[in-house]
């Protein structure tokens, strides 16, 4: 019961790569609503405060949580300042089941109601034109050129999608050597070429992992 309360009122703390590194509890922040298409993001800022209570004045450092706007849309109220309780760069079905399991609600946010946006997050590349995309279904058509997905193209895209899902735990597992994760990421990126559209969120763990491993290499 206590675990459940803590889990609902807490939020994940991530490093600059988006990896979860801990959990924080903040009652004020836990009152801010969730959205899979958030207007704000929780950030931590280091502030220097003047301590006046002791006999001697002293400065001390404190981390404060702030809600930073994500894009151009500024929320007018705290109720409207929704942020995402989870990594929102996941397909709708994964987001919904995670929110249900962890926070016990059925998400009906702006992002979950936007069918086109959700389809684009799982889109396959068009097999005919450069920028076009098709839905991840067997009978989809490209909105840009009208091309209908073939059986072969569908199977190829589905393999890339399944490989991306299977590789995610390995890519995020920092106990695996950085060179191994980098090699896996590079092979997956090749597999995504002409299969997973640039907007497809299954690309994200690979891109995050490659960004991190390349930084580790430079250090
Ligand atoms: Zn949602
Ligand atoms: Zn096309």
Q: Render pLDDT for 162-173 as a digit per residue (tens, 0 to 9).
A: 999 999 999 999
For ligand 2, an ion, list residues with CB under 5 A: 126, 128-129, 132, 142, 144-145, 147
The pLDDT assigned to 123 comes to: 98
The pLDDT assigned to 93 comes to: 97
The pLDDT assigned to 35 comes to: 93
User: What is the DSSP-derived secondary structure letter of residue 201?
Assistant: G
In this structure, are residues 140 and 116 in contact, taking their beta carbons and an 8 Å threshold?
no
Q: How far apart are CA 201 and CA 207, in angstroms?
A: 10
Q: How remote is the CA of residue 125 from the centroid of ligand 2, in Å?
A: 8
Give 3-state DSSP helix, strand, coil % of the chain, rounded to 5.
40, 20, 40
Collect the ranges in the chain with pLDDT lower than 50: none
Q: How remote is the CA of residue 89 from the centroid of ligand 1, in Å?
A: 11
The pLDDT assigned to 70 comes to: 82
Tokens in use for 46?
A: 């280091």
Q: How remote is the CA of residue 139 from the centroid of ligand 1, in Å?
A: 26
The pLDDT assigned to 10 comes to: 57
Q: Nearest ligand to the C-alpha of residue 148? A: 2
Q: How remote is the CA of residue 54 from the centroid of ligand 1, in Å?
A: 48
Q: In sequence order, what are the beta bridge partners of 160?
A: none
The pLDDT assigned to 16 comes to: 52
Q: Nearest ligand to the C-alpha of residue 97? A: 1
Q: How remote is the CA of residue 86 from the centroid of ligand 1, in Å?
A: 10
Model confidence, pTM: 0.79
Q: Domains (ranges, CATH) in the chain?
A: 2-113 (2.170.270), 121-218 (no CATH)
Phi and psi at residue 112, to the nearest 5°: -70, -25
Residues 15, 121, 37: CA angle, nearest 5 degrees:
60
Q: Nearest ligand to the C-alpha of residue 103? A: 1
């Amino acid at each position: 019961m206590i675990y459940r309360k803590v889990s609902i009122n807490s939020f994940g703390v991530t490093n600059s790569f988006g990896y979860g590194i801990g959990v924080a509890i903040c009652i004020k922040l836990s009152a801010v609503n969730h959205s899979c298409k958030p207007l704000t993001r929780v950030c931590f800022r280091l502030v220097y405060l003047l301590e006046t209570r002791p006999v001697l004045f002293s400065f001390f450092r404190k981390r404060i949580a702030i809600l930073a706007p994500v894009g151009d849309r500024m929320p007018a109220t705290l109720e409207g300042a929704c942020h995402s309780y989870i990594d929102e760069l996941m397909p709708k079905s994964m987001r919904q089941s995670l929110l249900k399991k962890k926070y016990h609600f059925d998400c009906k946010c702006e992002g979950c109601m936007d069918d086109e946006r959700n389809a684009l997050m799982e889109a396959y590349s068009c097999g005919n034109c450069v920028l076009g995309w098709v839905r991840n279904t067997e009978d989809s058509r490209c909105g840009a050129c009208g091309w209908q997905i073939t059986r072969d193209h569908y199977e190829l895209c589905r393999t890339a999608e399944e490989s991306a899902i299977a590789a995610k735990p390995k890519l995020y597992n920092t106990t695996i050597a950085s060179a191994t994760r980098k090699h896996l990421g590079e092979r997956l990126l090749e597999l995504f070429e002409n299969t997973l559209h640039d907007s497809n969120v299954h690309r994200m763990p690979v891109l995050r992992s490659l960004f991190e491993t390349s930084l580790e290499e430079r250090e």
